[in-house]
Each structure stands twice: as C-alpha cells, then as structure tokens.
Structure 1
Amino acid sequence: MPHAEDLDAFWELLRSGASGVTEVGDDRWPGQGDPARPAAVRHGGFLPQVDTFDPGFFGISPREAVEMDPQQRLALELSWEALEHAGIVPGALRGEPVPVYVGVMADDYAKLRLADAGDDPDPYAQAGTQRALIANRISHFLGVQGESMAVDTGQSSSLVAVHLACEALLSGRATAALAGGVQLNLLEETALMAAKLGTLSADGQCYTFDARADGYVRGEGGGFVVLKTLARALADGDRIHAVIRGTATNNGGSARGLSVPSAAAQEAVLRQAYERADVDPAQVHYVELHGTGTKVGDPIEAEALGAVLGRGRSSAQPLVVGSVKTNIGHLEGAAGIAGLLKTVLMIRHRSVVASLNFAEPNPAIRFEEWRLRMATAAAPWPGSEAEEPLLAGVSSFGIGGSNCHVVLSSAPVPPAGSAASEPGASSRAGVVPWVLSGRSAEAVAAQAERLRARVESDPALRPADVAWSLLHAREAFDHRAVVVGSDREELLAGLGHVLPVVAGTDPRVGVLFTGQGAQRVGMARDL
C-alpha cells in the first residue's frame, strides 16, 4: 500500500499519480476482508503500524504511552520532524513564546479506552485521551510557552489551525509558530456512522467534480508546518518553501441545514482571503479544492469559485483545480494541512499534479461558464515561465459551516548577500565531519542509514552543506558518532561503519603537543 512517510515520499505519490486508498486489513478492524461489508467502509487511506511509538525519545514512560491517543504520539513525531526540516533545533525553543495549533476532530481512541476501562480506569487515561492535550503535549515536550490549542472546526480544523498561527504572527505575539493536524481512524463504528449518513462513496473512491461523485473515502495521516513572518524568515536565512499571503475564516450561518454547505458563505470567505492577501483572484493559477466528491458539496464549491476566481478570466486561461482527497482520501480533521502541503510542494516544484478519478465532468458544474478546469495530468505550473510569483489557494470546509481559505505564493528570491543566498562553507574544500547523534546506539545507526539513502538519492547535495546542517540544525543527543571524509564517496562509505559512543556529562577538551614524535608506546594514553 503506498503511503508517504515524509515530504519526498508524499511528492512522489502525487507526482506519479498514485493512490494510497486500499482495503483495510484485519490488523485494524477484524473481519473487514468480508466482501459482504460495504465497500464504503472497507476502503480507506490507512497508515501502517499506528500503534508503534518510541516513548523514551519524548521522555514518556511506556505505561503512560499505552494510554496516549496515537494521535498524540503522531503529533509529537510530526512536529519534531517539521522543526528539523526547518533547520530549527527543537531544544533552542525552550522558554520561547512559540504557539502550537493542532487541528483534530477524531476521538476514536478515547471511545476504545472508555469501553475497555471497566471499573478500574488507568490514572494516565484522562490525559492520554483528551484532545486538548494533543497540542499541549507538543508545548510541554518542547518547553514552549505560547498559545497551545487543539482546534476542532470539523473537517476544516487543520487549515483553521494554520489561520490562527498566521494571526498570532501578524499580531506580534510570536516570532515562530507550529501548526498542523492529525487524524487516525481507529474505530469501525465511526466509519459505519459516516456510511449511514450517506457521506461515503459507495465503491470507496473519491470522484471530485466528476459525474460519478457520490461521497468521499476516508483517509488518515497528518502534517505540520513551521511558520514565520516573511521578514523574519529572510533575516534568519531560512529556506522558504512558499508564502502565505492571506487567510480568512467564516461560517455559513443560517444555511439550508447544519450540514449543508453555503455557496454565499464560501464566496464570502474567498473574497475576504484575497482582499487580505492583496491578490487579484483572476490572477490565481490553481486552487486546491475542499473537493470531497459529494453530490451536494462539489457544485456549491464550484459555483463559489466561479463567482470569485472565474470572473475576469478568459476561457483560454481557466482556473486549474484539484483535490488531494483523490490520492489519499479525506483526512477529515487533517484534510486542510494535507491540501496545503500538496500545494506548497507543487509551488516548490513549479508543477501541477493530476487529480485522480476524473473522467466525465459533473453535469451540475458549469466548467466553461465558471472558467474551471480539472488537473487531469501532471504538467508545468500554468504561466510558470513568467517572472511573476506563482499564486494558489487552498480551501477547507467543516460540516458545520466553518470555512477556511488560504492564499499562497512562491517565495521571493533572496537578495544577493543575504544569509539564504550565501554558499557559506559549501564552497570550501577539505575534510568535513558528518556528526550523528541519537537516544541510543541503534538510533545513531538508523540515522546513518537514512542519511546515506538521502545523500545517494540527491547527487546535488554537497558534503559541506550536509555537515553544516548536521552540526547546526539537529539536536545533539548522548549517543554520538562522527564520519569524516574529504569527498562524497569517502563520507558515504563511512556511514556504513559508524561506532557510536556516549558523550560525557562533563565534556572537556584535551590538547596534545607531541613535539618531534612519539617517545614511547602508550604515551598520553591516560590523557
């Protein structure tokens, strides 16, 4: 089953047009292989081994870890990886007013534990199953003291979390923020309830904007982003993947029903987002749809896009749209962050990937009139040959009418002489060290293997750049190893023979002056 363990794997899944939707295995819900089960319930985008976790890495006892919602565990892992990807040493944030916002709506594990607790609940169970603690766990582990919120606005939760992080940065309450979302589908009854509500696709596929659209297929996973103001990121020399130009949220108010989307509200949130971003909607190249593939929701979303982004646009340059839900299913509480990450990756690679399962346009969507076109094949970003920034939008809507839209653009080219444009040590020749560390010797060996695979997959990586990142952008743990070499091949060979040692609690520097040479065997061994 295809699934994405990191950003590179996620991009490969998207670029290749692969689907992560499959039938659920018996290890998740026993008996699901029974063909008598509805396909809507049997299919989904599932992560493997959601029960695995390294509690010691996060300073959590094994007994407490058992009582933790796996969504808490996943959020800890993803937030750590996001910081490392951003080149921020997590330990350096301790005591800083960094806010954490996590979109989450599922509580399957709490229901499972409640049913299993009987008359003797574990004392760790309450903290382990409270959704509020998904964000609080991260803040506690990192030692950060900004706002810490679990955000639940239904299926728009994780994109609303990004919106709140942007507001915190713009207000000056923070200089950096963590935002994201997680979703794990652990309880069969939750899927059955969605199927009875009629929101799931009968054959377990998501047909966004297609004539076959009859509901979505459920998915699970998560993602996090590290956010700073553009000025701060440029000053810090950060690698900027994309710029959030503006965000907006609203609610449908008195729509036709609590669970029925409002075209007027969606149109309003789009207008507000582009006004805040100071972006002409007619200049936007791509929008990542909420795109659930439902009979009611798809035409309403398309109409709102046509009213705001279709106006002033020629038929020769329609708005390109797509939905990541066709690849990985609807991540519900984490759907918005999945769509955001997909769009950021497309901007970074300057290409649009295919939205799957589109064969015949939905007759209720007036594609020509509303100037819309589905991305049915991988292609260069529309107008990417021009010097203007690439512009995109991301939508996410909650079942109760909580709407969110985010406006993105490509990152500016760093000015000459800035920290981000300087090669630094990359241009220097000579021997360089690759420093590795981990919580255990096994962890160091595993990191060496991952590093070797990463460097072998990217010939453009320069040894000195890798050395700098390992020294300055990763946490230093007690178990350490170092590989030295003067070229790429020597360093890669050394990664296969790392010998971790435990760093002393009181490290000291020793200097040896040997004079003309060694005077006797074993000289200076005591030192």
Structure 2
Amino acid sequence: MSDIAIVGIGCHYAGGIESPETFWDLVANKRDGVRDIPPERWDWRRFYDADKRTPAYMYVKRGAFLHSDPWAFDPDFFGISPREAAGMDPQQRLVLQTAWEAFDDAGIAGRISGSSLGAYIGAFTTDQMGLVSTPQLAPYFDMHTAGSASYTMISNRLSYVLNLVGPAITVDTACSSSLVAFHLACQGIANGDCEMAIAGGVNVMAQPQTFVMMCKGGFLATDGRSKAFDAAADGYGRGEGVGMVVLKKLDAAQRDGDRIYAVVKATGSNQDGRTTAITVPNADLQEQLAKEVAQRAGISPHDITYVEAHGTGTPVGDPLELQAIGHAYGAVDGRVEPLGVGSVKTQLGHTEAASGIASVIKAALAISHRTLPPQYWLETPNPDIAFDELNLRLQLDAEPIDPQIEPVTIAVNGFGYGGTNAHVILQEYQPPQHTKGNGHARTPRHYGVLPISARSEQAVRDLARGFVERIASGTDPGWLAEAAWTRRNHHPYRTGFPFTDHTDLVQGLMEFAEGAGPINRTVTSKAAEPVFVFTGMGPQWWAMARGLLEAEGA
C-alpha cells in the first residue's frame, strides 16, 4: 500500500470536544468527559437498580455524553426538508455535520461534488430503530421512516447529500467498526476505488434499553467508566460521539499543499476465530495482526514510539491485549526503554463504533504535536498485566518526544466483541529533503481582509468567535486569511474584516461575535467559464468589446 495522508479531521465527543483543537486540549490536559446521564435523554432513576440481578434495570447511571444536542441539526444547510429531518437518526445528522467539518479542515468543503470520494463509516447500536419501530408509532410512519434509521443510510446519505460517487459503505464489527472502516478506506484508495475517502464512526446513546442489554450481558462498569489497565477494571463505560478523517494519497497531498496530520503506513484486520467464548479476545491473533501490519509498513517493532490501545477496562480484555502488544512491540530486540501505552477511553468512554477513529485522531494529533499523549485515569496498575516482562509502561503524563526520534511512529489497536480485530500504523510526515526544515518559509499572500461566511447570521457570528480562538491559540492571521479565501467554501451570509495587525482583528472579531456590525446577504452563482465585465465607464473607444460579446460561444 502506498503512503496515505490524513489531511482533515472532524470530531464531536464528550467533554465539549467539537474540533481537533478541543480534542487535543481535553487529552493533553487530562480532562474528563464522563458524567451522570443527562435528564434531557431520560430520567436514569426510572431504569436504575444497583442490584445487577434485577430484571429490566441497569446498574449504571453515568456515561460520556455529548454536551451538544445530537438532534440539533440545520437540515436546510444540506438541502434536507424539515419533515424528513424530523425523523432522521441523529447518527446520520452527526455524520453529515462532522464530515463537512472534516472536509472544511482539509480545505475541500463545497468542492467535492461529483468526485470519486469514498465514504466508509462504522456504526453499531440501533437505538433509533428501537425508538421508531414500536407499535405505538406505526400510525406515524411515512415515506421517510424506512431510511430514517437504516445503517445503510449512515454512509449513503452522506454520499447522496454531497454527491460523492466513490464507494459508500457502513461497517459493523462492533467496537472495531470505525477502525475497520478506516482500513477499508485506505484499501479503497490504494486499489483505485476512490481518489480520496472519508472514514470514521458514530455512536449516539439515545435510549436506556441499550444500557439495560449491556448490563445484563455484564459488559458495563458499575461506575460508568472505562478503567483501562487498572486493578479496578470491571467493564467498560459507554460513550458517544463521532469522528471523521479525510484521506488521500501522500503524493497527492504534497502536490496540493495540504496540511498533513500523519501518514498511514499500513493497516490490517483479522478475526479471532473460535475462542473460549464469542466475546473473549484472542491475544495470539492480535499479536499476529500487529506483526503483519508492521512488516507491511516496513517498520521494525522497536521503532514504534507509542501504542494507542483499545483499552476497554475489562478484566479479561486488558491483560490479553497488552500481552499481544508487549510481544509484538515491547519485549523485542532493539528496544532500550519500555514502550508507552494508553487508552483514550478513560476520558471519552468506550464510544463503540466511534472508538477506533477516536484512537486514530488521538494518535494523529500526538504525532503532529510530537507529544506522547497521557492517559487520564489510573489508580493501581492491573496486577494481571506483566508490565516489566512485556517491557511496557502506562503513559500517565504528557511527554515531549525526544527530538532525536524521527519519524514518530504510533500504532493503534482495536478489537470488536465479536472477534474482529483491526490495527493501524501512523507515522510523522517528513517533507521531501529539499524542503525539510523550511516549515512555513513561504509568507502568506497579503489579502488584508479576513472573509467570514455561513448559511445563517448566527453561524457567521459563531464562526467569528471560532476564528478568535484560533488566533488566540497561535494561528497567524495572514495564514488564516489566505486559508479562508482559498480553502473554505463561501456561503450567502458574509462579512469581511480588514486588518493590519493582530490586535485590531481580534477586537473586531470579538465585537462582531457579540452582535456588532452588519451581515450581508448575497446570492451568487458560479459560471462554468470566465466572465468579462465592461462597465461602460472609461473604455478606450465606443462599443469596445462588442465583437467579443457577439462572437460564438461568448
């Protein structure tokens, strides 16, 4: 497989994550996304009983829930009627919104209609289907109901709405769904099925019955938290969210001048086969897959810098997974220090179909920041894990990566409770030798005006607030203006901010975000060919360009 670049990221997870920047902020600063089940979903007291044996009740009252409303959606932005949107699975809504944000992050939003771009999305839970398929709601079924909760539509609606003609595939391998989707997307690009792809996964916890089922299966932790690699691990804590990444061949990303978060060196997937029970992992097959993917990538096991593990926090799964990782990457020839491992599930919960892509995003951001990402929660390391023997250590604090380590290489491991495993190796992007070290040597073109546009007045003001945050985080206003002009899609509600220095621009954006200043409403249409405009004022002679106007094809 030729190298593939991650050029765009979109994400919404618990803890207020709404962008790659807020994702990294939560991870690096070890903040927590787990909370009580919010009352706007359901009153947990109606379904809760601490006694695990009580039928029809769950012994969990916490989880990693989104701060935003999954049902909040602007259907007009995507050309969907309000009537159809009213019954849409919130997972479809989140995928549409987050895919657009990922495309925007990649600088191609609004410019991909008709392109050979594949959509590979992981999905697992069927909460929406359970909500709409009750007999009481049967009289309200309409022409949109059948497609409102179908797995098929999670990927296919994205392709339909944005007019994408590459493969559209929804993948369900349970907890490894989005990592398998990522693997298939890379294969699709390598095989020529699509020029680019968007890969990810989504999970929304919309009803208590799914919690009840998982509790009766004994899968969930009593405190609602995934305590990965801890002695207190007693099951996983559920989480919800969506993550999407934009993929394209590395040489194409270099050609187009894309920002490259990380390079995909190799991916792979296999199955556990027959184990002691269908939900029990197979350490030998996980180890075999990791070794195969590393060999496929042409990377020596001791060159892996860090492993982002699945790390559900189950008493069976954690020791088996780290046994596999230790044998594949830790206790190997050439490694002089223990290999750091961790799991983002301690912060975001186990987001099931969206968990693998959360791990990919964490790994890609760690690479781009050249920082080993910390694990949030640990009290006592699991005594059933032989850390010293496996030459592994839990990465409990953020740690800058030694400058002598080049390139940074991170492996991502994932497995589903039905036995489907997936593995990915990401590496730091290193520019070609003749440009290496130049960074942003090129100065941005001096546009002098920062354009802001959206499809509603409030969205324009919200975007202005987001630009303030980007500048505050260190983004150069000149680069921001160039990107806004050349890589963002331009919408009907718009305004612009002339600027000469950082302070004036930030002040103007903040005032505008709070409601000051007008917003222009324009209607524009793109012409297929160049248009020449002659105003009639100041031509060199009367009737200048009339011949051009009358010429065939003009």
For normalisation by structure 2, the TM-score amounts to 0.87
Counterpart Cα distance in 2 of 1:99 and 1:229:
13
Q: CA deviation at 1:286?
A: 0.8
User: In structure 1, what is the equivalent of residue 415 of structure 2?
Assistant: 397
Provide, for residues 72-124 of structure 1, a one-character-per-residue CA deviation record: whole Å limited to 9, x for no partner: 00000110000111111x22211111100000101101110112522341221
Q: Tell me how many residue pairs correspond in the alignment.
A: 508
Moved more, 502-511 or 171-180: 502-511
Q: State whether structure 2 residue 266 is matched by structure 1 residue 246.
A: yes
User: In structure 1, what is the equivalent of residue 222 of structure 2?
Assistant: 202
Moved more, 110-119 or 260-269: 110-119
User: In structure 1, what is the equivalent of residue 339 of structure 2?
Assistant: 319
Provide, for residues 331-366 of structure 1, a one-character-per-residue CA deviation record: whole Å limited to 9, x for no partner: 001110011111111111111232133222212211
Provide, for residues 465-506 of structure 1, a one-character-per-residue CA deviation record: whole Å limited to 9, x for no partner: 112111111111122212212222333343324422222446
Where does 1:353-392 land on structure 2 (aligned, <5 Å)? Answer: 353-381=373-401, 384-392=402-410
Match of 2:255 among 235, 238, 261: 235
Moved more, 495-504 or 75-84: 495-504
Q: State whether structure 2 residue 504 is matched by structure 1 residue 486.
A: no
Report if aligned partners of 1:415, 1:421 keep a CA contact under 8 Å in 2.
no
Counterpart Cα distance in 2 of 1:177 and 1:154:
21
Secondary structure (helix, strand or coil) at the match of 1:182 reads strand
Moved more, 351-360 or 266-275: 351-360
Report if aligned partners of 1:207, 1:213 keep a CA contact under 8 Å in 2.
yes
Q: Judging changes above 3 Å, is the alpha-carbon distance between structure 1 residues 500 and 514 closer, same or farther for their aligned structure 2 residues?
A: farther
Counterpart Cα distance in 2 of 1:236 and 1:377:
36
Counterpart Cα distance in 1 of 2:476 and 2:328:
45
Provide, for residues 202-232 of structure 1, a one-character-per-residue CA deviation record: whole Å limited to 9, x for no partner: 2222221111111110000011001111111
Provide, for residues 402-436 of structure 1, a one-character-per-residue CA deviation record: whole Å limited to 9, x for no partner: 00000111111355469x9565552x55x611112
Moved more, 304-313 or 240-249: 304-313
Q: State whether structure 2 residue 198 is matched by structure 1 residue 178.
A: yes
Secondary structure (helix, strand or coil) at the match of 1:79 reads helix
Q: Judging changes above 3 Å, is the alpha-carbon distance between structure 1 residues 30 and 422 closer, same or farther for their aligned structure 2 residues?
A: closer
Amino acid at match of 1:43: R
Counterpart Cα distance in 1 of 2:335 and 2:79:
57
Q: Judging changes above 3 Å, is the alpha-carbon distance between structure 1 residues 362 and 446 closer, same or farther for their aligned structure 2 residues?
A: closer
Counterpart Cα distance in 2 of 1:6 and 1:512:
49
Counterpart Cα distance in 2 of 1:404 and 1:230:
22
Q: Judging changes above 3 Å, is the alpha-carbon distance between structure 1 residues 78 and 504 closer, same or farther for their aligned structure 2 residues?
A: closer
Amino acid at match of 1:288: E
User: In structure 2, what is the equivalent of residue 101 of structure 1?
Assistant: 120
Secondary structure (helix, strand or coil) at the match of 1:481 reads strand
Where does 1:118-517 land on structure 2 (aligned, <5 Å)? Answer: 118-313=138-333, 316-381=336-401, 384-416=402-434, 423-424=441-442, 426=444, 432-455=448-471, 457-458=472-473, 460-495=474-509, 496=512, 497-505=516-524
Q: Judging changes above 3 Å, is the alpha-carbon distance between structure 1 residues 487 and 356 closer, same or farther for their aligned structure 2 residues?
A: closer
Counterpart Cα distance in 2 of 1:81 and 1:75:
10
Amino acid at match of 2:483: S
Amino acid at match of 2:466: R
Q: State whether structure 2 residue 96 is matched by structure 1 residue 47.
A: no
Q: Which aligned runs of 4 or more in structure 1 are off by greater than 4 angstroms?
A: 33-40, 313-316, 414-418, 420-425, 505-515
Amino acid at match of 2:31: A
Q: CA deviation at 1:46?
A: 0.2
Match of 1:3 among 10, 16, 34: 16
Report if aligned partners of 2:347, 2:377 keep a CA contact under 8 Å in 1.
no
Task: Structure 2: state its 5+ residue gaps.
Answer: 1-13, 52-57, 540-554
Counterpart Cα distance in 2 of 1:514 and 1:87:
39
Q: Judging changes above 3 Å, is the alpha-carbon distance between structure 1 residues 485 and 265 closer, same or farther for their aligned structure 2 residues?
A: same
Report if aligned partners of 1:250, 1:269 keep a CA contact under 8 Å in 2.
yes
Counterpart Cα distance in 2 of 1:119 and 1:354:
51
Report if aligned partners of 2:48, 2:59 keep a CA contact under 8 Å in 1.
no
Fraction of identical pairs, as percent: 37
Counterpart Cα distance in 2 of 1:154 and 1:34:
24
Counterpart Cα distance in 2 of 1:365 and 1:170:
38
Secondary structure (helix, strand or coil) at the match of 1:226 reads strand
Report if aligned partners of 2:87, 2:145 keep a CA contact under 8 Å in 1.
yes
Report if aligned partners of 1:347, 1:390 keep a CA contact under 8 Å in 2.
yes
Q: CA deviation at 1:236?
A: 1.2
Counterpart Cα distance in 1 of 2:75 and 2:45:
30
Q: CA deviation at 1:391?
A: 1.1
Q: CA deviation at 1:22?
A: 0.9
Q: CA deviation at 1:138?
A: 1.0
Amino acid at match of 2:430: P
User: In structure 1, what is the equivalent of residue 34 of structure 2?
Assistant: 21
Report if aligned partners of 2:312, 2:318 keep a CA contact under 8 Å in 1.
yes
Q: Judging changes above 3 Å, is the alpha-carbon distance between structure 1 residues 249 and 432 closer, same or farther for their aligned structure 2 residues?
A: same
Q: Judging changes above 3 Å, is the alpha-carbon distance between structure 1 residues 40 and 501 closer, same or farther for their aligned structure 2 residues?
A: same
Secondary structure (helix, strand or coil) at the match of 1:224 reads strand
Q: Judging changes above 3 Å, is the alpha-carbon distance between structure 1 residues 461 and 31 closer, same or farther for their aligned structure 2 residues?
A: closer
Secondary structure (helix, strand or coil) at the match of 1:199 reads coil
Task: Structure 1: state its 5+ residue gaps.
Answer: 516-527
Q: State whether structure 2 residue 133 is matched by structure 1 residue 114.
A: yes
Counterpart Cα distance in 2 of 1:244 and 1:512:
56
